[in-house]
A and B are shown apart, each in its own frame.
Chain A
Amino acid sequence: MLSLLGGVFLGWSLGANDASNVFGSAVASRMLKFWTAAVLASVFVLLGALLQGQAGIETLKGLTQFTLEQAVVSSVAAATTVTIMTILGLPVSTSQAVVGAILGIGILNQQLNLAGLGKVVACWFGTPVGAAVIAVIIYKVLAAFYNNLKINLFQSDILIRLLMIAAGSYGAYALGANNVANVTAVFVGAGHLSVFSAALIGGLSIGLGILTLSKRVMETVGKKLVRLDPFSALVVLLAQSITVHIYTFIGVPVSTSQAVIGAVLGVGIVKGISTVSGRTLANILIAWLLTPAIAGFFATALDFVIHLQYVPHP
């Protein structure tokens, strides 16, 4: 059980950080109380993990073969990378950190599923681009409906609020379904857990992170999102959730933070305004390259360190 602690820690930090992408704007704008959002997010994350988390777990465990020791090493390496990148203020992706760590282990084992890796990397690039395209489509379609509704300011307010709650719950479901693989797939690969147990433990640890530590992150990240008008914030949330959910069907864990940035960019395209700065885009590119590289380095270094043996002089 102790060997799972690295995974649980990773799930806990993922929940604490990524819940802000689904309920951040609603909580920061006081549309929804934190505890209502946290409970909804935890329940839907667990549901997503249990009902649709299997595909991602299969993809990640298939990237290489692990021993239990290597599974623990890759979890700890990924968690450390996420922590360092967060301190550096870069838009870190847990998915990239986990894949980087698996890659490091794969190199050590001299056994890597390159086809699977290619699919994963292609999806990383596809996440912000896909989210931007989906945001453009959703904005146009929803705007056509919304502008023709015969509702007053108060009814519009109620409608946006209800849709935010529904989209947030859907986003949490997609987050659980997509990202649970990051947390416990390596333990399935090591033969330590069944797919169902991995989804359950992963979902619970993400939920724990949401309930215990996501409040501050929701408020800070959410405040950046609520600078958008409420309708645009809803479109961003929906586009991000749909994108992440699509990658769940493909079976590749992706970054919700990068999906959000793509969706915000898409809204900017429709409105003809600049919503994402060049600096943010540069940071994504740096994070794309640095995250898997650092995680891979940590995984190989950790594996090397734990295999050091004291050989006394004869």
Chain B
Amino acid sequence: MLKIFFKKQLQIESLIYDYLDNLKMTEQHFSEALNSCLKKGVCGDFDFLTKQTHKFESKADDIREEIKALMYGKALIPESRGDIMGLLESIDEIPRILELILNMIKTQKLVIPDFIVSDIKELIEVSLDSCDLLFKQTSALFKKSEELRSLVSKIDYNESHCDHIERRIITTIFDSDIDPFQKLQLKEMIIHMGEISDQADRVSKRINIISMKRHV
């Protein structure tokens, strides 16, 4: 019965799930693009997968704009409007970082040395795990699942772990004999990779606050 009166809210809810699905696709294509470089070293499918990553990132942007338009169309109460828009904007930082890393590799023609490949794989694996947990946490917020709080601590743990890996990789890079210019390039890329879990952690804490605010 209520569905007839509150079409916009239901539309927003469904668009948010579409948005999260798109982010998962962005994340998947990013992972494939990066791994194609790490595995083969020749980056055969890299360009195609980078374009695919961009395509899904753009689609997520379009969905976000659609949600925004519906929000300003007076759906939802102002506090929820602000919370959801703020949440989507901070989640949106993640695909932006993913795209930035791929573009760095592409435009700066970065060559990833073998001695850091396994560490980078570990860093990316843990970072993307954080993203998956974050998407799960976002869904938990909209489903009022009890799981929400436990996910905050898992994401927080991943963030600390990623910080540790990031420092280890940077130390390894600067201990090596590669060209100093390449060292700086790689350091910049690793810092951006570390930002993925940092941002996931920030968003996760934001979700926790949104949920706590609704406990009166």
Contacts and interface: CB of A to CB of B under 8 A. Distances in A.
Contacts of A33: 74
A157 interface: yes
Contacts of A146: 216
- Report whether over half of chain A's contact residues are helix, strand or loop; otherwise say mixed: helix
Contact of B144 (A150, A158, A160, A229): A150
Interface in B10-46: 10, 12-13
A152 interface: yes
- Report whether over half of chain B's contact residues are helix, strand or loop; otherwise say mixed: helix
Contact of B10 (A31, A147, A154, A160): A154
Interface string A147-175: 10011111011101100000000000000
Query: In which size bucket is the chain B interface?
Result: 20 to 34
Nearest to B2: A158
B216 A157 contact: no
A157 B2 CA distance: 12
B142 A226 contact: no
Given A146-B216, A153-B141, A231-B216, A158 B79 contact: no
A108 interface: no
B98 to A, nearest CB: 27
A135 to B, nearest CB: 13
Given A157-B76, A157-B80, A152 B143 contact: yes
Contacts of B12: 154
Interface string B73-109: 0101111100110000000000000000000000000
Given A158-B2, A158-B6, A158-B9, A153 B78 contact: no
Given A31-B74, A152-B141, 16 more contacts: A30-B78, A33-B74, A143-B216, A147-B215, A151-B144, A152-B143, A152-B144, A153-B80, A154-B9, A154-B76, A157-B77, A158-B2, A158-B9, A230-B77, A231-B216, A232-B216
Interface of B: 2, 6, 9-10, 12-13, 74, 76-80, 83-84, 141-144, 210, 213-216
CB-based closest 10 A-B pairs: A152-B144, A143-B216, A29-B78, A231-B216, A154-B9, A30-B74, A157-B80, A158-B6, A154-B13, A152-B142
